[in-house]
């Protein structure tokens, strides 16, 4: 029965050329879903995923999620090639850390555009299909930084806190159509994004984490799989923390 469920799903994972998004996309693929990999700059990594897949259930789509036209064309193409999106994971993200006093308007805007405008454009673009099908799962990837704040990340924290507001309000608009919308608050998960973090900060982070380790991308994919599955049909508007025990 679960196999039949997954084979009927079309999952769009934004920013899935690398890191957490890649792991989530590969999980959906393994489960039997059709998968749309979205990338922005890492064409080569997206191509590698395409080559490694042994069926036409996985396709790659270039789009800057912060650009409305890019998102519109991407979703149109996905609908033509794979069908209506039933699972959307708003995962694409960047960091442009700086103290607020020093932060440029570009650092501020680019982070908000990728995380917040991106989630808005992608969600709006796939929603009509979900409404027509009376089924959908939307998962927004937020961060501990959006809940408790991090010095040097006012842009990122603002965007990640915004995603929680989006999740809560949207869940109330679409619940009656059997579409759920949840947020994940992630702690430190080992990816290229965390390679940029200062080693002292990383050590401190580990000390503060109850499980005394950083997260793996698979830890996130496990929660996304559950929230996208029929087992989570009565869970919406919630913030689920996957942080090894920091908050
Ligand atoms: P990552 O390894 O740096 O990967 C970021 C992904 O986002 C890449 O696939 C990148 O694609 C894509 N992306 C960036 N800008 C984009 C845009 N404008 N349009 C489309 N795709 C774009 O980051 P990660 O660690 O996997 O993080 C994934 C998500 O988890 C982010 O939202 C991040 O904020 C969140 N998060 C991560 C952690 C952590 O510890 N790693 C903690 C909390 C939350 P290209 O390379 O193709 O441009």
Closest atom, ligand 1, to C-alpha of 95: 34
What are 105-158's pLDDT values in tens digits?
999 999 999 999 999 999 999 999 999 999 999 999 999 999 999 999 999 999
pLDDT of 201 higher than 90: no
Mean pLDDT of 85-97: 98
- At 119, phi and psi to the nearest 5? -65, -40
Q: What is the pLDDT of residue 134?
A: 98
User: 22 CA distance to ligand 1 centroid (A)?
Assistant: 10
Check pocket membership of 159 for ligand 1, CB cut-off 6 A.
no
Check pocket membership of 15 for ligand 1, CB cut-off 6 A.
yes
CA–CA gap between residue 207 and residue 29 (Å, rounded): 35
CA–CA gap between residue 173 and residue 47 (Å, rounded): 37
CA–CA gap between residue 142 and residue 149 (Å, rounded): 12
Q: What is the pLDDT of residue 187?
A: 97
The full DSSP string for 50-101 is HHH--STTEEEEE--TT-HHHHHHHHHHHHHHT-S--EEEE-------B-TT
Closest atom, ligand 1, to C-alpha of 92: 7
Check pocket membership of 219 for ligand 1, CB cut-off 6 A.
no
Check pocket membership of 189 for ligand 1, CB cut-off 6 A.
yes
- Whether 39 is a known active-site residue: answer no
What are 9-27's pLDDT values in tens digits?
999 999 999 999 999 999 9
What are 220-242's pLDDT values in tens digits?
999 999 999 999 999 999 999 99
Residues composing the chain: 247
User: 30 CA distance to ligand 1 centroid (A)?
Assistant: 21
What are 151-180's pLDDT values in tens digits?
999 999 999 999 999 999 999 999 999 999
Strand partners, 12: 36, 88
Domains of the chain (ranges, CATH numbers): 2-241 (3.40.50.720)
Q: What is the pLDDT of residue 59?
A: 98
Task: Please report, for the chain, how many H helices and E strands are present, in that order.
Answer: 11, 7
Nearest-CA residue for ligand 1 atom 32 is: 93
The rounded percent of the chain whose pLDDT value lies above 70 is: 100
Does the model's pTM come out above 0.95? yes
Check pocket membership of 112 for ligand 1, CB cut-off 6 A.
no
Closest atom, ligand 1, to C-alpha of 17: 9
Query: CA 236, 57, 132, 88 torsion: positive or negative?
Result: positive
């Amino acid at each position: 029965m679960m196999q039949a469920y997954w084979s009927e799903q079309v999952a769009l994972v934004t920013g899935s050329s690398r890191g957490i998004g890649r792991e989530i996309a590969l999980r959906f693929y393994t489960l039997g879903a059709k998968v749309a990999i979205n990338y922005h700059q890492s064409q080569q990594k997206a191509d590698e995923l395409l080559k490694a897949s042994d069926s036409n259930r996985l396709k790659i789509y270039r789009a800057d999620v912060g650009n409305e036209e890019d998102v519109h064309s991407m979703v149109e193409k996905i609908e033509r090639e794979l069908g209506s999106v039933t699972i959307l994971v708003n995962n694409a993200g960047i960091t442009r850390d700086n103290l607020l006093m020093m932060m440029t308007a570009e650092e501020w805007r680019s982070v908000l555009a990728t995380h917040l405008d991106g989630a808005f454009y992608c969600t709006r673009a796939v929603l009509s299909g979900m409404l027509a099908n009376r089924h959908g799962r939307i998962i927004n990837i937020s961060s501990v930084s959006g809940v408790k704040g991090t010095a040097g990340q006012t842009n990122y924290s603002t965007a990640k806190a915004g995603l929680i507001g989006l999740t809560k309000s949207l869940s109330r608009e679409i619940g009656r159509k059997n579409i759920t919308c949840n947020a994940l608050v992630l702690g430190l998960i080992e990816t290229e994004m965390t390679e940029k973090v200062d080693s002292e900060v990383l050590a401190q982070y580990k000390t503060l984490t109850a499980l005394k380790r950083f997260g793996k991308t698979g830890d996130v994919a496990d929660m996304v799989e559950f929230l996208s599955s029929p087992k989570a049909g009565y869970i919406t508007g919630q913030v689920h923390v996957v942080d090894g025990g920091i908050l």
